[in-house]
Chain A
Amino acid sequence: MKVSITVNGEQRTDEVEPRLLLAHYLRETCGLRATNVGCDTTSCGACTVVVDGLSVKSCTVLAVATDGSQVTTLEGLAGPDGELHPMQAAFRAEHGLQCGFCTPGMVMAAIGVLADNPDPTDREVREGLEGNLCRCTGYHNIVRAVRTAAQAGPAAGQVPQAQEVEA
């Protein structure tokens, strides 16, 4: 069936099978490979993207169910000039990664954490990221990165399209 989804600010229409998962739509139909499929069982969070302002695990969402939605992946965060989103910049500054496989999901989930709570404690960051696993167990720097991003102000808790839609 036909779906129209705004992916990283660009509206596109695609013919998809109803059973196509959003994670596979993003990776294979849209060619956006930052969104990783880790566990494929809704546990690890590596496939986290933001749909209409809320973080979701895209391996447990049907692409057809997001018809008409705004979807943001890691590729949609940086500005056109390559300027990093405050959350990406904070992950880089604090070295919030080890192997990097969980990083796209962590960054997208972390934006959601700040959307709910702009100034979280370490404990609140850990609770907010409970749905994301880092198998290198690099959590300390990830938590530090989210706290650092919080200092950048409200933009750290928003994805770019959401700002455009509000404007």
Chain B
Amino acid sequence: MIPAPFDYVKVTSVEEALEALAEHGEDAKLLAGGHSLLPIMKLRLAVPTALIDISGISELSYVRVEGDEVAIGATTRHHELERSAVALAEVPLLPHVAGRVGDPQVRHRGTLGGTVAHSDPASDLPTALLALGGTVVVQGPAGRREIPVTEFWLGFFETALSPDELVVEIRVPRTGAAGWGYEKFTRRENDWPIVAAAAVQGRVALANMAGAVVRASATEAALAGGASIADAAALADEGTSPNSDMHADADYRRHLARLLTRRALEKAAA
């Protein structure tokens, strides 16, 4: 399978990326690791007229502490996040989840900004970020703006990002070693989750239970009201709208959401 023809532009700074986006218009796509984008281009589900390769923007590759938060540059690759001493100490959920994305070859190319901007409801890292809270920092012609993670993922492949903007940074609160859990059910080790649950400090997010990653609000409210983990987890699928497909029907996904939420919360409490 071979993608349809496109113009290829390699950029090395955020400014160059924004200029290229402005020049090539709405049909241009940003390319980072390419492991989500190229497969859909090969299937011709995406036919961008131009690819702007931002993988070489080294100024966006970092994991550092800034006050109460950890700031992670958008072109930080999954395998870098997996091994980041700062992330392991300050927000250990993230390197753990980064290590459960795909396989080593995929993690060698995939970037945090890429998976955030792609908005696949079955993505591991957005699920973890939604449970952590924090912000997605984007930059466009009008400058930088911060979008809370709760407002970023709007639906399948749909985000609050404008076509002339790019994700430059993700900021999450420092949790330290505080309790967290990530449970995912897959057909093959570290494949896309059929359902996954991330739990940290009383917040729970679910993968693949709606058009975008979604918080288990009923579970969170029950926990805040003093309910037991078992009782709160039993509400995890409330308000979700899971699909039925060849891997699992909607009812089975609801069952998985409740089960994985309980396990993730138990891990977080342990």
Contacts and interface: CB of A to CB of B under 8 A. Distances in A.
Interface of A: 1, 17-19, 21, 24, 40-42, 45, 48, 54-57, 60-62, 64-65, 67, 109, 112-113, 116, 127-128, 130-132
Contact of B3 (A19, A112, A113): A19
Given A45-B103, A112-B108, 17 more contacts: A1-B8, A18-B6, A18-B8, A18-B51, A41-B1, A42-B106, A45-B105, A55-B104, A60-B35, A64-B10, A64-B53, A109-B104, A109-B105, A112-B105, A130-B104, A131-B105, A132-B103
Contacts, number: 81
A19 B39 contact: no
Pairs of residues from A and B, 5 with the lowest C-beta to C-beta distance, nearest first: A131-B103, A18-B8, A54-B108, A19-B3, A130-B103
A42 B8 CA distance: 21
A21 B38 CA distance: 10
A21 to B, nearest CB: 7
B4 A19 contact: yes
Most buried by B among A60, A127, A128: A60
Contacts of A62: 8, 31, 34, 38, 51
B104 A112 contact: yes
A19 B55 CA distance: 17
A116 B109 CA distance: 15
Interface string B100-121: 0011111011000000000000
B103 A19 contact: no
Interface string B1-13: 1111111101000
Nearest to B103: A131
Contacts of B38: 21, 42, 60-62
A162 B100 CA distance: 27
Contacts of B106: 42, 57, 131
Contacts of B188: 130
8 contacts: A18-B51, A42-B39, A54-B108, A56-B108, A112-B104, A130-B188, A130-B190, A131-B103
A3 to B, nearest CB: 10
A109 B108 CA distance: 12
Interface of B: 1-8, 10, 31, 34-35, 38-39, 42, 51, 53, 55, 79, 102-106, 108-109, 188-190
Contacts of B4: 19
Contact of B104 (A24, A40, A67, A116): A116
Contact of B109 (A1, A17, A19, A56): A56
Contacts of B35: 42, 57, 60
Contacts of B34: 60-62, 65
A129 to B, nearest CB: 8
Contacts of B104: 55, 109, 112-113, 116, 128, 130-131
Contacts of A56: 105, 108-109
A127 B106 CA distance: 13
A129 B238 CA distance: 38
A117 to B, nearest CB: 10
B67 to A, nearest CB: 32
A56 B55 CA distance: 15
Contacts of A19: 2-6
A102 B136 CA distance: 40
Contacts of A113: 104
Contacts of A64: 8, 10, 53
